[in-house]
Amino acid sequence: MPALCQAGVRARIAAAFASGYNGPAAERRGLLREDFKRGAEMVWSYAIRLLPWAMWRKEIQAIEPYLSGRGADIGCGRRKARAGAVGIDLFPYPGVDIIADASVLPLRSASLHYVCSVHSLEHCRDPQGTLVEWLRVLCDGGSVCLVLPDVRYTGEANTDRTPHWQHWTLPGFLSWLGEVGLAGLVHTAGEACPRWSFFVVLRKTSSPGTAAVH
């Protein structure tokens, strides 16, 4: 429990003892139940605000080693995976640098060291063409770093302003990459946030390697 929440619960219980816990036993039990109920509500209110941030941080940690040099965060929304990245989104959220469609980037070819996309590719009607576009703007050796929802756990959940056109699991996504001729670019892949999402890193190279799946 956060320290502020603990302090609030302690203060309420102390005040209740000072003013009302000296009455009959049944009344004291009622007051205690009410204060514990309020304490639980306070804990929950903190949890539902902190949990999405903690899950997002877990996802970013999975791809963070590949976010170096000049880069772009596609579909960044209100927060970027790495400070200094060019934020690109369809909507003018605070911090967005370029308003553009993910499949048509207004960037020079071979101008970036990485492109990252956290919960964005599933919103694209043409994910193959979108990935080819992201690879276009990368220097040789650059990385496309993806975090995607695992449909086994997320189902139809979507809090964004555009629909999910794609629904994948990690094995399904890797299989799809093979179908569209991009499997040879997979550098590494694995779970991002447990029971929620997975990550895949594609490496632009003239000598495609073999995927290392964790």
Query: pLDDT digit string (tens) for 62-121?
Result: 999 999 999 999 999 999 999 999 999 999 999 999 999 999 999 999 999 999 999 999
- Distance between CA atoms of 131 and 119, rounded to whole angstroms? 14
- How high is the pLDDT of residue 159? 74
When pLDDT is cut at 50, 70 and 90, the band that residue 143 belongs to is very high
Higher-confidence position of 191 and 206: 191
For the chain, which domains are there? Answer: 3-51 (no CATH), 67-213 (3.40.50.150)
29, 20 in Cβ contact below 8 A? no
Predicted TM-score (pTM) of this structure: 0.75
- Position 165 scores a pLDDT of 86
Give the span between the Cα atoms of 46 and 4, in whole angstroms.
Answer: 10
Q: What's the pLDDT tens digit per position in 23-73?
A: 566 555 565 667 666 765 665 455 545 578 889 999 999 999 999 999 999
Strand partners, 168: 150
The set of residues, in sequence order, having a beta carbon less than 8 Å from that of 100 and lying 6+ positions away, is 88, 90, 106
User: Cβ of 155: how many Cβ atoms within 10 Å?
Assistant: 10
167 vs 209, which has greater pLDDT?
167
Q: Which residues contact 195 (CB under 8 A, 6 or more apart)?
A: 150, 153
Strands (E), the chain: 71-74, 86-89, 98-99, 112-118, 138-149, 186-191, 197-203, 212-213
Residue 118: exposure state from Cβ atoms within 10 A (0-12, 13-18, ≥19): buried
What tokens were used for 92? 């003018």
